[in-house]
Amino acid sequence: MYQNVKVSSLRLLITFTIMLLGAATTFMVMVYGWSENFLFLFASFMADAKQYVDGRFVFVGTSFFFVYSLATFFCLPILLILSISAGYFFGTFGILLASFGCATGSVLFVSFSGGGVREIALKAGIVSKIELVEKAFQKSPLIGVFLIRLLPIVPFPAGTFAMTILPTTKRSVFFGTLFGVMPGTTLYVFLGDALSSVDFFLIFSSPHMFITIDIVAPALAILCMSLVFAALARRL
């Protein structure tokens, strides 16, 4: 159990460190004018991409849902980026796209996972060491899946693997994942939605305009949520 909590806390620390480094690098680039041509090209690309999505909302939204589902199915470490992108391109509707995509991908993984996947999960002892999860699954598979997705008890891919050996149903995996990931996904989507209203061209000349309540508030909420969940995980 201690090892699982340690890995989970390290994952949260790494995630937030990457976010801080990215924000710091972006700010330094804007202040000192590094790679100005590249930044203007990037800003132009993001503006054109946003315009393209707005003109083909249904098609791109459906495609994004399938991409998110496949990323979850293949346990790709890009869900955080996809969640922020969902907010940037689709606004608050991105919450549904990301959450339902994650839930669908989880169900697909559990449905198509073979004996080899279950054997790996069993040997790793991903869930068997966590008493809270075992008790939750005995009472209700839905609550068990919800706790795995809500709390950083185990890394997200490991939680997906664990569902292949736990007494779950496709319905409990779908709805447990849907509601379990929604709080965190909502914060990332709000952050992406706030970024969509930023005038990147104007920011190059006035970097301080990047620091707004719409951007800072979701970032701080993500940090607080990570710290609270990590503290809860240490007590399990």
Q: Give exposure, 142-163, as e/b (b: 16+ Cβ within 10 Å).
A: bbbbbbbbbbbbbbbbbbbbbb
What pLDDT is recorded for position 35?
A: 54
- If you average pLDDT over residues 184-195, what whole number do you get? 84
pLDDT digits (tens, 9 = 90+) for 156-189: 887 888 788 777 889 999 999 999 898 888 888 8
What pLDDT is recorded for position 12?
A: 54
The answer to whether 118 touches 222, Cβ cutoff 8 Å, is: no
- 99/147: higher pLDDT: 99
Residue 17: band (very low, low, confident or very high) from pLDDT cuts 50, 70, 90: low
Token pair 């976010």 is at which residue? 19
pLDDT at 203 over 60: no
What pTM was estimated for this model as a whole?
A: 0.72
- If you average pLDDT over residues 122-139, what whole number do you get? 64
Residues 6+ apart with CB under 8 A from 196: 50, 87, 88, 89, 91
Domain membership of residue 130 as a residue range: 2-235
Number of structural domains (the chain) is 1
Is 164 strand, coil or helix? coil
Structure tokens belonging to residue 176: 């447990």
The answer to whether 156 touches 177, Cβ cutoff 8 Å, is: no
